[in-house]
C-alpha cells in the first residue's frame, strides 16, 4: 500500500491577524517540509483565527480572508514549498447561495482549502454548522454541500471540518461512499473538562463509520473566553490510536500512514446526504517511503517526542487551560503586565499563581489593601505569596479613604461592607490607568452564581481567570499547584494558610462565607445541577438536597443575573460557563419551585 507522511500542525492563531497568521503557516509548513511531509494540514479557520463572530458578516473581512488565502498560496510557491499540498482553514463566501431572509448577509462560509503549486486547487465549506453552547454558526455561515477529496501520492484523502465529525451523517458516511483512504478533519474545538475522552471516542467511532484511517487535527491556544487544547488524534480504520499530540502545546505531529491506494473506478457524483464529490488529483504515483521510526511530535526546532504524548491528569489539565487562556488574552491584546488585589485568601492566591505561570512573576503586580477588618494573618499570607512567587508587591491601606467616606455618608450594614470592596476596585483601576497593567478579577464560579461579589468592587477588571471554576475546585487546583511545585523541587507558590483557613471576605468582624452561604461542597453540588445541567428545583431536591436550601440557593442565582452580565470575560473550562453558554434574561419573573 502507498505510504503517506502526514504533518498535522496544531498551532495557535489570532483572530483578525491575517498577516501574522499567514506568516505562522509559512513557518510551520517549512518545518513540515523539513520533516519530509507529503501532506500538511492546519486547523479550522487558522488564517483568520477562530471564532471570528460578527466579523464574518463584514464583506471587507471576508474578502481580506479570500485575498489572504490566494496570497498565501503564492507565497508558499515562492519559498519553494509549492510542491507540497497544504490544507488551510479560512473564511470564504458562497458564490451559489441566494440572499434570503434568515440567512447571514453575504453568505459567508467556514471553509477549508488545499493550496498547491501556488494556487487554491480545492475549496470546501463546513457542512454541519453547530448552534449550541458557545456556537452560533447558523448566524454566521451557510453550509457546504460537497464531499471534498484530494488525491495525494495515489491516496484519496476526504476532508471535513470539525462539526462534520461531531454530527451523524454527512461527510463521514460520504467518505466511505467515496472510498477514501484517509479522512482528515480540521478543527477548532474549544476545551472543556473531560472533553479529551469524549473526543477520542468520537474519532474512533467515526473512523469505523468512514471505514478508513481518520486524522483529527485540533487548534491550540486561546481566544477571549475560549481555550483550545490541541490533543490532535490519528486512529486507524478499526479505531486504534496511531498517534496523539500533546495537550496545551503547539506541535507538528508527523506520522507515516500505510493507506489503501485510490481505486480506478472511484465514485463520482452525489453520495450521502446529497453531498457531491468534488475531487482533485494532485499526484497518482505513491510518495517515496520513509522509515517509520522517524515519526512523532516535533516542535519547530525538530526533535522526536514519540507517537503518543503523555496525558495530563484532571487537575493539571484544568490548570493548564487557565494558564493558556490568561496568557492568550494578555498577549493577544497587547498587554505586558497584570495587577491583582491580594487579600491573603485562596481565590486571589490561585489567580496570582496562574498569572505568574502565564506571563512571568516579573510581570505580575500584587497589591494588599487592608482595612480595619483585615486580619494580621491575611496580610501576612498576601506578603508570603509575593515572597514565594517573586511577584511585585506593595501595600496600600484603604482605612483613611474608608473613614473619609464613612464620615460623609455614615453607611451601615451591607453598604459599609461593599464600600470597602469598591474602594479597592477604584484603587486597582487607578493603578491600572497610571502604570498600564490590566486588572484581574479574582471571583470564582460559586460566588458569581449566587451574587457573592460586589459590583464595581471585586468584580472590576479586564479578565477573570477563575470565573468558570467552582470554589471546591479552587481549593483542589491550589493544592495541585503546590504539589506540582514540590515534585519539581520548587517552592509551593500558595501559602498553606490561604488553603486551610475558612474563606472570608473580611468586611466585618469575624465574618466567614458560611455566614450567608452553605458549605461549598453542598453549594457547588447544587449549582452544578442548576447552572451546568439546567435541572429544576424538584429534580435537585429529588437528588437528595434540602428543599429549603435549594429554594434559597436558586433564588440567589436568579437574582444575580444582572451582576454576571457586568463581570469581565474569563476562561471557560466547563460545558456551561457564564456567558455565551448560558443566556438568561435579566428581567425575569420566573422562579423555580
DSSP code, position 532: I
Whether 162 sits among the annotated catalytic residues: the reply is yes
Residue 431: half-sphere exposure toward Cβ, Cα within 13 Å: 25
Helix, strand or coil for residue 592? Answer: coil
Distance of CA 561 to the CA centre of its chain: 24
Q: How far apart are CA 296 and CA 272, in angstroms?
A: 35
Determine the Cα angle at 44 with ends 43 and 48, to 5°. 105
Kindly name the residue from 137, 162, 225, 297 that is annotated as catalytic: 162
Whether 192 sits among the annotated catalytic residues: the reply is no
Q: Write the burial class of residue 484 (CB in 10 Å: 0-12 exposed, 13-18 middle, 19+ buried).
A: middle
DSSP code, position 299: B
Per-residue cell: 403: 473613614
Give the neighbor-by-neighbor strand order of the sheet with 392-395: 392-395, 364-368, 338-341, 438-439
The four Cα atoms 69, 268, 208, 221 give a dihedral, to 10 degrees, of 10
DSSP code, position 530: I
Strand pairing of 220-223 and 155-161? unpaired
Contact 468, 570 (CB under 8 A): yes
Distance of CA 1 to the CA centre of its chain: 38
Give the residue from 243, 33, 44 showing the smallest Cα distance to 135: 44
Q: How far apart are CA 390 and CA 188, in angstroms?
A: 36
Determine the Cα angle at 151 with ends 148 and 153, to 5°. 155
Q: How far apart are CA 59 and CA 105, in angstroms?
A: 9
Q: How far apart are CA 89 and CA 50, in angstroms?
A: 10
Whether 356 sits among the annotated catalytic residues: the reply is no
Binning the chain into helix, strand and coil, the percentages to the nearest 5 are: 40, 20, 40
Kindly name the residue from 44, 209, 384, 447 that is annotated as catalytic: 44
Residue at grid coordinates 462534520: 164
Q: How far apart are CA 367 and CA 364, in angstroms?
A: 10
Give the residue from 104, 110, 59, 108 showing the smallest Cα distance to 88: 110
Q: How far apart are CA 545 and CA 293, in angstroms?
A: 56
Kindly name the residue from 23, 53, 79, 126 that is annotated as catalytic: 126
Give the residue from 454, 455, 466, 449 showing the smallest Cα distance to 560: 449
Q: How far apart are CA 417 and CA 153, in angstroms?
A: 71
Give the residue from 251, 254, 196 showing the smallest Cα distance to 220: 251
- Partners of 579 in the beta sheet? 582
Could you give the residue numbers annotated as active site?
A: 44, 126, 162
Amino acid at each position: 500500500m502507498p505510504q503517506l507522511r502526514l504533518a498535522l500542525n496544531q498551532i495557535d492563531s489570532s483572530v483578525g491577524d491575517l498577516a501574522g497568521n499567514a506568516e505562522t503557516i509559512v513557518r510551520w509548513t517549512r518545518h513540515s517540509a523539513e520533516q519530509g511531509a507529503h501532506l500538511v494540514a492546519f486547523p479550522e479557520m487558522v488564517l483568520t483565527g477562530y471564532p471570528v463572530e460578527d466579523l464574518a458578516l463584514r464583506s471587507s473581512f471576508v474578502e481580506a480572508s479570500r485575498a489572504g488565502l490566494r496570497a498565501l498560496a503564492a507565497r508558499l510557491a515562492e519559498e519553494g514549498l509549492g510542491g507540497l499540498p497544504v490544507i488551510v482553514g479560512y473564511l470564504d463566501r458562497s458564490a451559489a447561495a441566494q440572499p434570503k431572509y434568515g440567512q447571514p448577509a453575504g453568505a459567508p462560509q467556514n471553509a477549508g482549502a488545499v493550496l498547491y503549486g501556488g494556487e487554491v486547487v480545492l475549496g470546501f465549506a463546513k457542512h454541519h454548522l453547530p448552534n449550541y453552547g458557545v456556537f452560533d454558526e447558523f448566524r454566521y455561515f451557510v453550509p457546504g454541500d460537497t464531499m471534498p477529496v484530494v488525491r495525494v501520492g495515489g491516496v484519496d484523502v476526504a476532508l471535513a471540518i470539525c462539526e462534520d465529525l461531531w454530527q451523524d451523517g454527512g461527510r463521514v458516511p460520504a467518505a466511505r461512499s467515496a472510498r477514501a483512504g484517509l479522512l482528515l478533519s480540521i478543527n477548532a474545538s474549544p476545551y472543556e473538562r473531560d472533553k479529551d475522552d469524549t473526543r477520542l471516542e468520537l474519532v474512533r467511532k467515526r473512523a469505523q463509520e468512514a471505514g478508513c484511517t481518520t486524522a483529527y487535527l485540533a487548534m491550540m491556544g486561546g481566544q477571549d473566553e475560549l481555550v483550545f487544547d490541541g490533543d490532535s488524534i490519528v486512529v486507524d480504520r478499526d479505531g486504534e490510536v496511531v498517534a496523539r499530540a500533546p495537550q496545551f502545546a503547539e506541535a507538528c505531529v508527523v506520522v507515516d500512514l500505510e493507506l489503501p491506494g485510490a481505486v480506478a473506478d472511484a465514485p463520482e457524483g452525489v453520495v450521502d446526504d446529497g453531498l457531491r464529490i468534488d475531487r482533485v488529483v494532485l499526484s497518482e504515483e505513491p510518495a517515496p517511503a520513509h522509515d517509520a521510526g522517524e515519526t512523532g511530535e516535533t516542535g519547530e526546532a525538530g526533535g522526536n517526542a514519540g507517537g503518543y504524548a503523555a496525558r495530563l491528569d484532571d487537575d493539571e489539565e484544568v490548570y493548564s487551560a487557565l494558564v493558556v487562556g490568561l496568557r492568550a488574552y494578555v498577549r493577544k491584546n497587547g498587554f505586558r503586565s497584570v495587577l491583582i488585589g491580594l487579600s491573603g485568601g485562596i481565590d486571589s492566591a490561585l489567580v496570582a499563581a496562574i498569572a505568574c505561570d502565564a506571563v512571568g512573576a516579573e510581570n505580575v503586580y500584587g497589591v494588599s489593601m487592608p482595612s480595619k477588618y483585615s486580619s494580621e494573618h491575611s496580610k501576612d499570607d498576601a506578603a508570603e505569596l509575593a515572597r514565594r512567587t517573586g511577584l511585585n508587591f506593595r501595600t496600600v491601606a484603604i482605612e483613611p479613604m474608608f473613614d473619609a467616606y464613612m464620615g460623609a455618608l455614615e453607611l451601615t450594614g451591607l453598604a459599609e461592607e461593599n464600600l470597602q470592596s469598591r474602594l479597592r476596585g477604584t484603587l486597582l483601576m487607578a493603578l491600572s490607568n497610571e502604570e498600564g497593567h490590566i486588572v484581574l478579577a479574582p471571583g470564582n464560579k460559586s460566588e458569581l452564581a449566587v451574587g457573592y461579589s460586589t459590583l464595581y468592587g471585586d468584580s472590576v477588571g479586564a479578565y477573570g481567570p477563575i470565573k468558570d471554576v467552582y470554589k471546591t475546585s479552587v481549593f483542589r487546583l491550589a493544592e495541585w499547584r503546590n504539589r506540582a511545585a514540590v515534585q519539581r523541587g520548587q517552592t509551593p507558590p500558595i501559602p498553606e494558610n490561604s488553603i486551610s483557613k475558612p474563606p472570608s471576605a473580611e468586611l466585618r468582624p469575624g465574618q466567614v462565607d458560611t455566614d450567608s452561604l452553605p458549605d461549598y461542597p453542598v453549594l457547588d453540588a447544587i449549582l452544578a445541577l442548576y447552572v451546568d445541567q439546567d435541572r429544576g428545583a424538584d429534580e435537585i431536591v429529588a437528588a437528595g438536597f434540602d428543599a429549603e436550601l435549594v429554594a434559597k440557593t436558586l433564588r440567589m442565582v436568579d437574582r444575580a443575573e444582572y451582576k454576571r452580565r457586568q463581570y469581565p470575560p474569563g476562561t471557560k473550562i466547563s460545558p456551561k460557563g457564564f456567558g455565551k453558554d448560558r443566556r438568561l434574561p435579566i428581567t425575569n419573573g420566573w422562579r423555580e419551585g
